[in-house]
Amino acid sequence: MNMFQGRSILLALAGISAGFAGATGQAAEFYKGKSLQFVIGAAAGGGYDLPGRAISRHLGRHIPGRPAMVVKNMSGASGLKMTNWLYNVARRDGSVIGMPTNNIPFEPLVRLISRDGKNIHFDTNKLQWIGSPTRETYVAFVWHAAPVKSVDDLKNRRVLMGSTSPAGTNSVLPTLTNDFLGTKMQVITGYGSQSNIFIALERGEVQGNVTGLTNLTVNKADWLREKKARILVQYGLRKDPKLPDVPFALDLVQKPEDKAALRFLVSKFQVARPLVAPPGVPADRMKILRAAFDATMKDKAFLADTGKLGLDIDPVSSSEMTALIAEVYKTPKAVIERTRRIILEGRKKTVKRAGKK
């Protein structure tokens, strides 16, 4: 290569770099004086709302132009309503992001909310994932007055388990556990929100619940401190170090086909509070949003804020999240269909909350 050719290549590379910097600069200028809409696909005050609003209080500082953050709740159909809106209606210019529920990335596979798939109006692989502030451990727990103290007791006594809806995780996990371990958890649906289930537990309407550990540590720390809640099983891809003496569901399940089904289902807990943008957002603006999320996860003010709330931050980057979702979508069809069949069969055995149609 002669000197002239080398100089030409360097000039070309410099031109590419300048063009990229210009594009990034234009994206940064886009947010100046604007508002960034943050839509949470769950009710106010719950397990998604608290971390979502905590992120919103700090994310804007890490976006060039420091846009104002506007938070909105759009609950309905376990996050499906918000995700359909984000995918089909929301602006695709980087000014709108969302936090769906963690079942949403895999809903097109299992179709638990929309059983025939007709209400799923999004493609998981076209959504643009930003990250998750945490991974989650789910737990099955009972009220201290319930006559059960172990998994073996759950196999011998019927326990009434409160549930938000038939498609909710607090219905699905007891159903799978009953099938795989022979437990006798009776799911009572129709409570609509986690807070309603907590009230029902105190009133004695139900005896237990399956929920994210964070829901207990943040909203009902006194129950754990005063031993009003007794945790019997933990669910996830890894055992939670905070629960060293609580049986781990994947260890309890023995049959390979049952382990495969449970592992498929609990994979979503690795992206417990997903942040996402709609398709079509320009790549340079997505780069800004993802960098801002990563910076927020390390922000001392954010960590102090979430620490006061009792929220554990264990972030999942956009690349990790995209890789996990891609891996789950490689799950053999037979495993997915078997999991879905067990859940739908178990749904027939659920009981609606008294007084609810």
State the DSSP code for 187: E
pLDDT of residue 21: 44
Q: 279 falls in which pLDDT band (50, 70, 90)?
A: very high
Which CATH superfamily hosts domain 138-268+335-352?
A: Periplasmic binding protein-like II (3.40.190.10)
Asked if domains 13-135+272-314 and 138-268+335-352 share a fold, the reply is yes
DSSP 83-94: HHHHHHTS-SSS
pLDDT computed for residue 12 by the predictor: 45
Per-residue pLDDT tens over the stretch 23-70: 457 777 999 999 999 999 998 887 899 999 999 999 999 999 999 999
SS3 content of the chain, % helix, strand, coil (to 5): 50, 15, 35
Distance CA 80, CA 205 (A): 29
Residue 189 has pLDDT above 50, yes or no: yes
Cα-only R_g, the chain: 22
Digit-coded pLDDT (tens) for 248-262: 999 999 999 999 999
Mean pLDDT of 200-222: 94
CA distance 58 to 293: 9
The answer for residues whose C-beta is within 8 angstroms of residue 296's C-beta and 6 or more apart is 55, 58, 59, 61, 62, 302
Dihedrals phi, psi of 207, to nearest 5 degrees: -115, -15
Using the predicted structure, report yes or no on whether residue 13 has a pLDDT greater than 50. no
Which pLDDT score is estimated for 356? Answer: 54
Percent of the chain with pLDDT over 90: 81
How much is the pLDDT for 24? Answer: 58
CATH hierarchy code of domain 13-135+272-314: 3.40.190.150
Whether the predicted pLDDT of 17 surpasses 80: no
Domain boundaries, the chain: 13-135+272-314, 138-268+335-352
Q: What is the pLDDT of residues 95-115, one digit of tens each?
A: 999 999 999 999 999 998 898
Contacts of 275 (CB under 8 A, 6+ apart): 55, 97, 98, 99, 129, 130, 131, 132, 133, 293
